Structure 1
Amino acid sequence: MQTLRAIYENGVFRPLEKLELVEGQSVQLIIDTNPVTPKEMLQLAVEVYEGLSETDIDEIEEIALKQNYFFADRTEE
């Protein structure tokens, strides 16, 4: 799956970057007319931690870095 920015001109979408697609390849477009900028994304991430202690933040980040935690069989908990 790829995410890219495009401009809609004259009834067609024009990618703003090079695509690794085969000519005639079918794709599915999801249109987001209000994309989040990198600066806005960073602000949203900061807001997630508001009101949490440093210990809480460290614990959350440690869990997030352990991919096994999300995909392991956790039925025993």
Structure 2
Amino acid sequence: MSKVIEAVYENGVLKPMEKLNLKDGQRVRVMIVEKDFIQIAREIRMRLREKLRGKDLLKELIHERERFD
């Protein structure tokens, strides 16, 4: 399972901002991404959703691909 969550670093410990479905002692990998990057990615995603609202995403992607071929 892969999941992106937000966490706060306090006193040398990363504390998740939401409950995680993990067992005690379970090991996971953590990728550190600063919030600024995450916020930018969310804004881009929201703009894309607004731009493509009501459109067929597959047709739009094919159209974009054909423009660069």
TM-score normalised by length of structure 1: 0.54
Match of 1:27 in 2: 28
Q: Does 1:42 align with 2:46?
A: yes
Structure with greater Cα Rg: 1
In the TM superposition, what is the alpha-carbon distance from 1:48 to its structure 2 partner? Answer: 7.3
More off after superposition, 17-26 vs 32-41? 32-41
Amino acid at match of 1:26: R
Relative to its length, the structure with more helix (as a share) is 2
Match of 1:6 in 2: 7
Higher relative contact order (CA 8 A, sep 6+): 2
3-state SS of paired residue (1:36): helix
Distance 2:3 2:28 in 1: 10
Give aligned-pair identity as a percent.
Answer: 31
TM-score normalised by length of structure 2: 0.59
3-state SS of paired residue (2:46): helix
Distance 1:46 1:22 in 2: 36
Number of residues of Structure 1 aligned to a counterpart in Structure 2: 54
